[in-house]
Homo-oligomer: A and B are copies of this chain.
């Protein structure tokens, strides 16, 4: 519990935003998987700040140092520990917040829960923690690739601007062609302009990351308390600023009746498939071989440069302006984390499924 995720595959992350390092231990990873360090670096880049004008300008180091579990280029089945060293942090940016609680951050709840908190940059509650998830996610993607599972996340909503198309109406590869990671070029431009405007106001904005998993074999997921979609929901809701999760047609098409919503089976040239996929590739908590797709809502980042009302440790009312180089919109970087958490979950359930028959 606490800082670990997964059943067979188990990722434990550690580290604070302005401590020595962020890192993780990925235990239970299968042996014999070849690790491509260039691939990992390319995955890290997707999450890295400082890449465009719509994300934080911080130039965070995201180089990964592996400490164990890989030998002569392959995984050994032993825990894979890794560290991303914190460099160029500016703790002095956070002196103001030593005593004052930033609204809608975790400052207040950490202080009251633990009686102590590392206030520098949000400490453990900082989204920098997700760097460890992307390392683990990249490792899992390498394993999943070998069995044909492909995961792709993209931005489908920024504030009031919605993409307005379903995933199968889009060429998801297009998401790589713009900084907001939206596979519709026109909507992408609107979103980017909107974020720039919000940023200029010293404000922030949220939205939706959508994710599609193709090639998932039938049978992943366990009934009742280990349903695949519940695990995915848990994984996504563990990402900083996540406020909601839905899969298949989720909240969106609740006006559909059973007869409109049910995915009828048919025989497509010898193999059983469904005419529609409102189920989002999961029935009874178990993958059915169709595409898995889901949405994750992310709120506007709590760090804004506008003046806000707050209180300090003693309960005294204060105003606060948050300095530093913050993300006006977390979505383009969150997409990488969504993919990573999906990859860890899928590999975990793939391995778990191996145990269900002798």
Contact = CB atoms under 8 A, between A and B. Distances in A.
B15 A208 contact: no
A273 B227 CA distance: 37
Nearest to A223: B124
Among A83, A198, A204, A284, max chain B CB count under 10 A is at A284
A301 B254 CA distance: 11
A66 B16 CA distance: 12
A263 B357 contact: no
B15 A28 contact: no
Interface stretch (A39-47, A52-60, A172-180, A311-319): A311-319
B68 A112 contact: no
B83 A304 contact: no
A30 B357 contact: yes
Contacts of A309: 264-266, 275
Contact of A112 (B219, B250, B274): B219
The listed residue with most B CB atoms (<10 A of its CB), out of A72, A103, A280, is A103
Given A205-B258, A219-B113, A250-B243, A15 B357 contact: no
A135 interface: no
A51 to B, nearest CB: 21
A274 B104 CA distance: 9
B262 A358 contact: no
A50 interface: no
